[in-house]
Amino acid sequence: MKEYTIRRIAAISSEFPSKFGIPRQSGLADTKAEIIFEPEYASPEAVRGLEKFNYLWLIWQFSENTDSGWHATVRPPRLGGNTRVGVFATRSPFRPNALGLSSVKLESIEEREGIGPVLHVSGADLMDGTPIYDIKPYIPYADIHEDALEGFTGGTKDYRLKVILGEKLLADSGFPLEKSGSLRQVLAQDPRPSYQADPERRYGMEYAGYEIGFKVREDILEVTDITKVNKS
């Protein structure tokens, strides 16, 4: 079997320093991120005409799962973590090739001194530093399929938690108010592992430079504490 080497062309700079809490699919939260090209590909010519599109496909690597191997069947979190389906019927990271696919919105293109073109995107579901192997424009006439079937996702797509996030807690913590909306969207998707349902357990995730502590009881998620992360 002939093997093919693919090159990292860029990396994403996002508000998620770890896997926990990242949206389960792209476009479900208004999360902002930047795509920064490797020096070899940081040419304005390489993105000429891209400004005519407003959505992109990103092909990237599950960089935190490269040593986990692949599994013929996996347990999708939205099915409760107990039902197994074939890996190719999911977007699980436990694949023969640890490649992910995301559709993000292109907000703007910035020419940054010393860096080259930087793509500002929203709706990204990638951890900070994730390597990107290709970028392609999203083309509506070819990429939209009105008769597409939802499979098992049809019964889970509307799953949301009610989020309680106090204004005083936001103000006292110093968390940026302009990012509170996207934080609520992320939390509403229920970041917990699907097999954990202890109402007294305190969960923590990092977002936008802060650790967000929360508890979940039935369908209500309450933010209990917000603490700025001090990077040494």
Q: Whole-model pTM? A: 0.89
CB 69 within 8 A of CB 145: no
Assigned fold of 10-143: Elongation Factor Tu (Ef-tu); domain 3 (2.40.30)
Residue 69, pLDDT score: 77
Kindly list the domain boundaries of the chain, sorted by start residue: 10-143, 160-228
Residue 94, pLDDT score: 86
- Mean pLDDT, each 10-residue run in order, the chain (232 residues): 90 94 89 97 97 97 76 80 85 88 97 97 95 97 92 75 95 95 94 77 94 94 95 67
Phi, psi of 23, rounded to the nearest 5 degrees: -50, 145
Residue 197, pLDDT score: 72
Strands 220-228 and 162-164: parallel
Q: Which CATH architecture has domain 160-228?
A: 2-Layer Sandwich (3.30)
Residue 60, pLDDT score: 96
Residue 231, pLDDT score: 72
Find, among 183, 184, 229, 187, the residue nearest to 209 by Cα. 229
DSSP structure string for 31-67: -EEEEEE-GGG--GGGGTTGGG-SEEEEEEE-TTSTT
Residue 144, pLDDT score: 93
Q: Do domains 10-143 and 160-228 have the same CATH topology?
A: no
